[in-house]
């Protein structure tokens, strides 16, 4: 019984639950922002489950492809594949089942557009980013961030069957948020990335250049997050929240740039996750008001 529980926990770990929870959260926010009233319960339920399953499948494929890289890095060597807890075929089969069920739910019980957009996101992250971009270019996070920025578009499409400009504005916020988020991590994990042979920005261009980019992208993010209020998509409650959250993020990014320490980079990375969660929550609260 104990070994069965451990195996189930290992399969769950393949899906990167913390990452998937943020993906699902942003998708659900997209659903609520797309709807003038309550989101229909079947759309909310099947859309959320379908997107979560496909995201988990993409994470499992990512773990499968990067098994040899994960084994070299302290942050990832405890994952199920490097430890030998789960085999390659099991991971591939598990991912196929998750992804197949998720896409089927989206196609049959939500709408075809959401399914196709979710499939494109799967391909973008699990294949294009993981196989091609990540090991070949220091801009892997910037380009590959397009896949990670899709959840609110998926949520919007689930409710309306469309992906209008407002949905792509939410996409843009996450897209611009991604580089300072990941490069903060890469700064204090640079030696591990170098040892693993990955061309992350601190490895290819140095820490000083990366620190500047973290700050510049955070400035860009601040400007982008004001656009929902400028175009009338949100009101003053969101604007107030965005200004406060952006000011804190800018403060972290400034310290990373001008007064760097690994501890400062860790704080910035952790804050970036809290930041995105609170920013999208503010959009939801503003919409409800």
Do 121 and 254 belong to one domain?
no
What pLDDT is attached to residue 55? 94
Do 197 and 252 belong to one domain?
yes
pLDDT in tens, 65-79: 887 777 777 777 777
The two three-digit tokens of residue 33, written as one number: 């922002």
Instruction: Out of 161, 186, 210, pick the residue that ends a domain.
Output: 161
Instruction: Out of 117, 144, 161, pick the residue that ends a domain.
Output: 161
CATH number of the domain at 78, please: 1.10.357.140
Residue 105: DSSP 8-state: H
Do 227 and 151 belong to one domain?
no
Do 105 and 194 belong to one domain?
no
Q: CA-to-CA distance for 117 and 25, rounded, in angstroms?
A: 17
Question: What's the domain range around 211?
Answer: 164-289
Domain count, the chain: 2
pTM of the model: 0.90
Do 197 and 127 belong to one domain?
no
pLDDT in tens, 151-192: 999 999 999 999 999 999 999 999 999 999 999 999 999 888
Do 3 and 140 belong to one domain?
yes
pLDDT in tens, 13-24: 888 888 889 899
Work out the mean pLDDT of the chain and round it to a whole number: 91
Instruction: Out of 143, 161, 179, pick the residue that ends a domain.
Output: 161
Q: CA-to-CA distance for 164 and 133, rounded, in angstroms?
A: 28
- Kindly tell me if the per-residue pLDDT of 246 is higher than 60: yes
Do 169 and 188 belong to one domain?
yes
Do 14 and 113 belong to one domain?
yes
The alpha carbon of 33 is separated from its chain's Cα centroid by a whole number of angstroms, namely: 19
Do 88 and 192 belong to one domain?
no
pLDDT in tens, 141-160: 888 788 889 999 999 999 99
- Residue count of the chain: 289
- Kindly tell me if the per-residue pLDDT of 2 is higher than 60: no
DSSP-H helix ranges across 161-206 = 165-188, 190-196, 201-205
Percentage of the chain with pLDDT > 90?
Answer: 66
Q: CA-to-CA distance for 159 and 173, rounded, in angstroms?
A: 20
pLDDT in tens, 29-56: 999 999 888 899 999 999 999 999 999 9
The alpha carbon of 162 is separated from its chain's Cα centroid by a whole number of angstroms, namely: 22
Do 142 and 172 belong to one domain?
no
Do 248 and 125 belong to one domain?
no
Do 29 and 144 belong to one domain?
yes
CATH number of the domain at 175, please: 1.20.120
């Amino acid at each position: 019984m104990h070994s069965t529980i451990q195996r189930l926990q290992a399969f769950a770990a393949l899906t990167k639950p913390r990452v998937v929870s943020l993906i699902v959260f942003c998708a659900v926010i997209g659903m609520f922002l797309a709807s003038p009233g309550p989101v229909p319960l079947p759309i909310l339920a099947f859309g959320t489950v379908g997107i979560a399953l496909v995201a988990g499948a993409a994470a499992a494929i990512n773990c499968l492809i990067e098994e040899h890289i994960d084994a070299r890095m302290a942050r990832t060597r405890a994952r199920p594949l490097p430890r030998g807890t789960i085999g390659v075929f099991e991971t591939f089969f598990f991912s196929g089942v998750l992804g197949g069920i998720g896409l089927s739910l989206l196609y049959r019980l939500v709408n075809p557009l959401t399914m196709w957009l979710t499939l494109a996101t799967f391909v973008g992250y699990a294949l294009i980013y993981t196989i091609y971009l990540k090991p070949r270019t220091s801009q892997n996070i910037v380009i590959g961030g397009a896949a990670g920025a899709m959840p609110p578009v998926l949520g919007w499409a689930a409710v309306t069957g469309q992906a209008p400009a407002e949905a792509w504005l939410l996409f843009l916020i996450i897209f611009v948020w991604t580089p300072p988020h990941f490069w903060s991590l890469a700064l204090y994990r640079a030696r591990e990335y170098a040892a693993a042979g990955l061309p992350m920005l601190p490895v290819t261009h140095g820490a000083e250049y990366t620190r500047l980019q973290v700050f510049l992208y955070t400035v860009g993010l601040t400007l982008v997050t004001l656009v929902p209020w400028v175009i009338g998509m949100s009101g003053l409650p969101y604007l107030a929240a965005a200004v406060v959250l952006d000011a804190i993020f800018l403060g972290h990014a400034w310290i990373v740039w001008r007064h760097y320490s690994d501890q400062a980079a860790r704080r910035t990375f952790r804050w970036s996750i809290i930041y995105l969660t609170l920013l999208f929550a503010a959009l939801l609260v503003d919409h409800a008001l």
